[in-house]
A and B are shown apart, each in its own frame.
Chain A
Amino acid sequence: MFQPKPLWNPYAAGALLGVALLLTFLITGHGLGASGFATRLTAAVSETVAPAATEANSYLGAFVANDNNPLDAWITWEVIGVALGALIGAITAGRFRISMDGPPKLSTAGRLALALIGGLLAGFGARVAVGCTSGLGLSGAAVLSTAGFLFLMGFFGAGAGIGLMMRRLYK
């Protein structure tokens, strides 16, 4: 059976990630992100589907004011780059496969339901914190910001607490 190439050593992958982040700060003055794109995409979709409600909304309205295209931002190109980089990585390592992760004990529907709920929690949480694991956890911690480390404490705290509770689903 075809075997995908092994993953990189965590320190090697971490070093490449660190160099990418360092270059990002040098070139743009800010770090890497992800959830900002999800916010802008939501504003763009919402503006197409329900323009009046979007413009009237106190949060999304700011993204579409004055006929602005919310997707016209650096982070859109960055996330397209992330998608391309991941695709190249997966294909060159023989890891691209239509498949599904999630707790092996659950049915397909159960895993997809968990993925949707998890995404919803993270999407909501990223707007509360004004950033996600990339923007706050990684980029925020790399400039030694208090926000970055407070975020990481919450992230690993809740993640480990709930992760350990769900342990039996993975056995």
Chain B
Amino acid sequence: MSDIASGLFLGLLFGFALERAGFASGCKLTAQLRFQDWAVFNVMFTAILVCATGLYFLDLAGVISTQALYTPTVFLWATLIGGLLIGAGMAVGGYCPGTSVVSFMSGKIDGFVFFIGLLIGVVAFAGAYESIEPMLKALPGPQGQTLPELLHLPTWVILAALIGVAVAVGLLTRKSDDQPRANLGHTASAHS
């Protein structure tokens, strides 16, 4: 498949799934951060586990080698601080980079403004790059680039533990999902 075709097709699935999950709404996304709505956690964890379990079995069957897949490198400070900033960005502005695109394609003006903010953030980073770059790379992460390597456990144990966490959170938060969401703000309260 060409880059153009695969990019368009896979992006389309990604954007459609995020829209159906309700992630075009900044109110719904931040409701997770206030622990009023567990959809963000449940959607993300389900996606991670479906993909990770699929990759595990395809690797077992010899269809692919998970070793050959792109695995991001961990830098203790850079990865953690970047995560903190993006979490702060969602709490303040309502979105993350991907969901801001989904949001403004659903007609949300604040999603578009958030996206413009992203570009300004990149400019700010480029301006500060020379002074902060040594700090970001100063502390590499642990040798273990994956959880099985880091914890010295077989992949299936990690997967089973993560599935356990997902099921436990799902059961513990099931009740709050059934209640009317009066506190979510005007947009998110439009659905059942």
Interface of B is mostly: helix
Are A102 and B72 touching (Cβ within 8 A)?
A: no
B57 to chain A, nearest CB (A): 10
Closest to A122 in B: B89
Which chain B residues lie closer than 8 Å to A131 at the CB level?
72, 82
Out of B44, B136, B149, B184, name the residue touching A170 (CB < 8 Å).
B184
With A23-B13, A99-B107 known as contacts, the answer to whether A119 contacts B115 (CB < 8 A) is yes
Are A157 and B16 touching (Cβ within 8 A)?
A: no
Interface centre among B15, B21, B86, B106 (most CB of A within 10 A): B86
Q: List CB contacts (< 8 Å) of A40-85 with chain B.
A: 41-42, 45-46, 57-60, 74-85
Out of A30, A132, A170, name the residue touching B96 (CB < 8 Å).
A132
In the bound complex, CA of A171 to CA of B31 (Å): 11
Are B126 and A90 touching (Cβ within 8 A)?
A: no
Are B70 and A146 touching (Cβ within 8 A)?
A: no
Are A142 and B48 touching (Cβ within 8 A)?
A: yes
Are A122 and B73 touching (Cβ within 8 A)?
A: no
In the complex, which range does the number of interface residues on chain B fall in? 35 or more
Are B109 and A162 touching (Cβ within 8 A)?
A: no
- Known contacts A119-B115, A120-B118; 8 additional CB pairs below 8 A are A6-B192, A23-B13, A24-B10, A58-B133, A82-B98, A84-B11, A135-B72, A143-B52
Residue B47 lies at the interface, judged by CB distance under 8 Å to chain A: yes
Q: List CB contacts (< 8 Å) of A127-151 with chain B.
A: 127-151
In the bound complex, CA of A56 to CA of B12 (Å): 36
A107 to chain B, nearest CB (A): 12
Are A144 and B11 touching (Cβ within 8 A)?
A: no
Closest to A24 in B: B10
Out of A18, A27, A116, A141, name the residue touching B10 (CB < 8 Å).
A27
- B-side residues, CB < 8 A to A, are 1, 3-4, 6-22, 24-27, 30-35, 38-39, 41-52, 54-55, 58, 64, 66, 68-76, 78-103, 105-111, 113-127, 129-130, 132-133, 136, 141-142, 144-150, 155, 158-159, 170, 177, 183-187, 190-192
Task: Flag A8-38 by CB within 8 Å of B: 1 or 0 each.
Answer: 1011111111111111111111111111001
Chain A to chain B contacts (Cβ below 8 Å), 24 pairs:
A34-B96, A59-B129, A80-B7, A81-B7, A84-B15, A85-B13, A85-B15, A85-B16, A86-B16, A89-B20, A102-B27, A115-B95, A120-B117, A122-B86, A123-B122, A123-B124, A125-B86, A126-B86, A128-B81, A129-B85, A134-B98, A139-B72, A143-B71, A147-B79
Interface of A is mostly: helix
In the bound complex, CA of A42 to CA of B97 (Å): 13
With A15-B46, A163-B33 known as contacts, the answer to whether A99 contacts B109 (CB < 8 A) is yes
Are B42 and A123 touching (Cβ within 8 A)?
A: no
